[in-house]
Structure 1
Amino acid sequence: MKKAPLLIAIDGPAASGKGTLARRLADYYHLPHLDTGLTYRAVARLLLEKGWPLDDEPKAIEAAHLVELAALDHAVLSAHDVGEAASRIAVIPQVRRILVDKQRAFAGQPSGAVLDGRDIGTVVCPDAPVKLYVTASPQVRARRRLAEIKARDGASDFDTILADIVRRDERDTQRADSPLRPADNAHLLDTSEMDIETAFIAARNIIDAIMAAKDKT
């Protein structure tokens, strides 16, 4: 019997650990992975490169059409200014619709896939059999982000990063189009007191239990 696709939707705020967890799960289950936040960052980087205003909706829409999922470069797109710009253009409804179509096409692969972002379980893949909402306190997330920056020999400070995280949380949860929130049937995973290995095991246990129950039906 042909194995059913395994589609895992992971949502959560910035620096919650969802991206690292998604990559670990994709490796473990041998699935393709898409960090959907990179699609918005790719649009933002195109606007910044071309010197187009971030509030120029027609230009942002044009840039969204140009995004190629196979060409997303995490190292290039992880720059702080790109992330800030991405959070601003992500509120444009038409940009979201274009990118969601690309993300859904990725999710439709025969094997299934792992997608992480802020509206995967609620908008992009509402029928995904596995939905996780990964979160952590703003203070914990700020410490993690600061550690990442220092590991790349960057410079910042805790208070600045914390203020940035709180600001992005507010922008993401309050936007009118596809706000950040847990899907009604998502499994909550608070990683405030977890290292990545503990979070990975907890997520695996949830996924395996869901798939075992599904196999019995």
Structure 2
Amino acid sequence: VSYVASEDPDNQHFSVDGVDVTEAIRGHEVSSSVSAIAKHPLVRQGLVDHFRNVIAACERPGIVMEGRDITTVVAPDAPVRVLLTADEDTRIARRLAEVAGTASAPSVAQALSSRDRSDQSVVDFMNAAPGVTLLDSTPLTFDETVRELLRIIAITKETA
């Protein structure tokens, strides 16, 4: 299986065996299945190894990764580690906007709650580990969140 992920933040795309899966991986069907698959130790270790290889192969001076255990398991020694959170209502609203009419509010809420419960048995994703900066984006717009992340990165670089 060949997997390709763009490192260009202005042109994000993902493909598997030459098939563009960019939209599909953000869909409700995939998101609602992630926990059931990722909780298997061999799958988790394979993903951790893959993500570490992506980091090692990155040609740019840094990389942004998302995932509930990136800061603690995948890249615990990264120079900047941020736990980006939001309250449940905000996360549901943002997820509904992402799936744009392909799922109902109740199904999104149920899937999010179910995934949270399932993931809590595998990783503590709601509390920042030592050395990880917590950023609650509940009251922030996307642009405000990006500005705050850039501020955190700048401060971290200054103190390093």
TM-score, normalising length: structure 2: 0.80
Structure 1 residue 33: deviation in Å?
Answer: 7.9
Q: What does 1:98-177 correspond to in 2, within 5 Å? A: 98-108=46-56, 109-110=58-59, 111-150=61-100, 153-157=101-105, 159-175=106-122
Question: Which moved further from structure 2: 196-205 or 106-115?
Answer: 106-115
**Structure 1 unaligned regions, length at least 5:** 1-22, 43-66
User: For residue 125 of structure 2, what is the amino acid of its counterpart?
Assistant: L
**Larger relative helix fraction:** 1
- Could you tell me which of 112, 130, 133 is aligned with 1:187? 133
Distance 1:72 1:126, change over 3 A: farther
Structure 1 residue 210: deviation in Å?
Answer: 0.6
What CA RMSD, in Å, does the superposition of the two structures yield over aligned residues? Answer: 2.9
Q: What is the distance in 2 between the residues matched to 1:169 and 1:186?
A: 20
Structure 1 residue 80: deviation in Å?
Answer: 1.5
Cα contact 2:26–2:98 (8 A) shared by 1: no
How big is each residue's C-alpha offset from its partner over 1:24-69, in whole Å with a ceiling of 9 and x where there is no partner? Answer: xx749xxx989xxx8xxx9xxxxxxxxxxxxxxxxxxxxxxxx77x
Q: Which residue of 2 aligns with 1:94?
A: 42
Cα contact 1:149–1:156 (8 A) shared by 2: no
Distance 1:71 1:209, change over 3 A: farther
Q: What does 1:43-122 correspond to in 2, within 5 Å? A: 73-108=21-56, 109-110=58-59, 111-122=61-72
Question: How many residue pairs are counted as aligned between the two chains?
Answer: 151
1:200 lines up with 2:150 in the alignment: no
Q: Which residue of 1 aligns with 2:3?
A: none
Indicate the percent of aligned positions where both proteins have the same amino acid: 30
Cα contact 2:86–2:137 (8 A) shared by 1: yes
Q: Which residue of 2 aligns with 1:15?
A: none
Structure 1 residue 138: deviation in Å?
Answer: 0.5
Cα contact 1:33–1:115 (8 A) shared by 2: no
User: For residue 163 of structure 1, what is the amino acid of its counterpart?
Assistant: Q
Q: What is the distance in 2 between the residues matched to 1:97 and 1:166?
A: 24
Q: What is the distance in 2 between the residues matched to 1:154 and 1:163?
A: 15
Distance 1:196 1:84, change over 3 A: same
Question: Could you list the runs of 4 or more consecutive aligned residues of structure 1 that deviate by over 4 angstroms after TM superposition?
Answer: none
Cα contact 1:133–1:187 (8 A) shared by 2: yes
**Structure 2 unaligned regions, length at least 5:** 1-5
TM-score, normalising length: structure 1: 0.61
Per chain length, whose mean CA-contact separation is higher, i.e. which structure has more relative contact order (CA < 8 Å, sep 6+)? 1
Distance 1:183 1:85, change over 3 A: same
Structure 1 residue 145: deviation in Å?
Answer: 1.6
